[in-house]
Chain A
Amino acid sequence: MTVLPIQMRGVARRFGSKTVLDGLDWEVGPGQVIGLLGRNGAGKSTLMECLLGLREIDGGSIALFGESPDALSDATRARIGYVPQKSDLFDWMTPLQMLDYFKALYPRWNDAKVEGLLGRWGIDVAMRNRPIRRLSGGEQQRLSIIRALAHDPDLLVLDEPVSALDPAGRRDFLTELIDGVIERGTTVVFSTHILTDLERVALDVAFLKGGRIVLEGDLDDLLDGAAGQVVNGVHQPKSLEDLFIEVTR
């Protein structure tokens, strides 16, 4: 029996009087590429932070590769990659210094991939030796993604990873996701508001509403199912956008 990368049962999380996560059950199997959708403020970032153990939970249990997030072993930590919504890089270091720093800490590090990504994603030599705080938001976000991919993780958690990227950057990211990540069978969980990107890459989607996962399943099946609705004798096809608005109403 393979260990599930993510297993959440009855997870609850409150901020003061506001309940953000309310008895949430969720499981993500190995190799799944799942998109997390929800309105602004629905708790997607909180869900990801609680999942990885960055915030405590007020109830329920979480298992990451079978381990509880507050007692992760170093081996499991090396299998997880995370791209937060607000870039979390050390802004006084240069990109090269930052990557060297993490290379010293992670057991597995793919130099060729890092070199390739830095080259393909437009982080040229001049930029590599400039402190990160001097880079633009898009460049910092790309660097965040490179850092998360560099150690070939088995679980990749991405919180709006392309919000600051232009369409070309998004396409580059999707290509890398397909080529380097999905091919290797990595489990990918990501949240984004750009539904076209999600549709291309995600096989499953989960909708977060009212502190729970209200709808989850294969994207194509969900769209087909929604399209199967017959109104006034005519098929009413639904796009992912329509489905999103309806489910999270």
Chain B
Amino acid sequence: MTSHSPQLFSIVPGSTEPIYRQLVEQVRRLVAGGQLAPGDALPSVREVALQLAVNPMTVSKAYGLLELESVLERRRGVGMLVADRPRKRSGEGDINARLALLRPTLERAAREARELELDPDTVLSLFKAILKESP
């Protein structure tokens, strides 16, 4: 079990997303990507608040939401730990969850494509090419 430093997180104030939601998304991405392994201890609310210069209630709200979603769990005396989730390599629910994580980024890309007045087929072929070339 590793405990992580508050430098794990970063936020962009002034964006269109509330800060608590940015934190929630970040944790979900880190868990899905494996940087936060099940059983890892997350930094305390106070540490994160001081590091990012945000209100502790915001951090606490983000942690609370993640706890409700069973991404994190609260352990007395230790703090917030990443929940043990059964890693289903292939499963409908897991795929859907991961797709849902990708959705905001794709929506942003779609918006930009519309602004650039590119038709969907051209965009999709570009996306396929990019997916093929990345390691």
Contacts and interface: CB of A to CB of B under 8 A. Distances in A.
Interface of A: 33, 171, 174-175, 178-179, 182-183, 195-197, 199-203, 219-220, 223-224, 227, 234-235, 237-242
Contacts of B50: 175, 178-179
Interface of B: 13-21, 46, 49-50, 52-58, 61, 107, 111
A175 B14 CA distance: 18
A239 B53 contact: no
B49 A178 contact: yes
Given A179-B50, A234-B111, A203 B15 contact: no
A201 B53 contact: yes
A200 B18 contact: no
A242 B111 CA distance: 18
7 contacts: A200-B13, A200-B19, A201-B54, A201-B55, A220-B20, A220-B61, A237-B17
A178 B111 contact: no
A174 B51 CA distance: 11
Closest 5 A/B residue pairs (Cβ) = A237-B16, A196-B13, A220-B18, A174-B53, A200-B54
Given A220-B20, A234-B111, A199 B49 contact: no
Contact of B14 (A182, A224, A241): A241
Which of B14, B21, B46, B52 has its CB near the most chain A CB atoms (within 10 A)?
B14
A240 B14 contact: yes
Contacts of B55: 33, 178, 182, 200-203
Given A223-B18, A238-B16, A182 B53 contact: no
Nearest to A173: B53
Nearest to B13: A196
A203 B61 CA distance: 11
Given A33-B55, A201-B53, A227 B14 contact: no
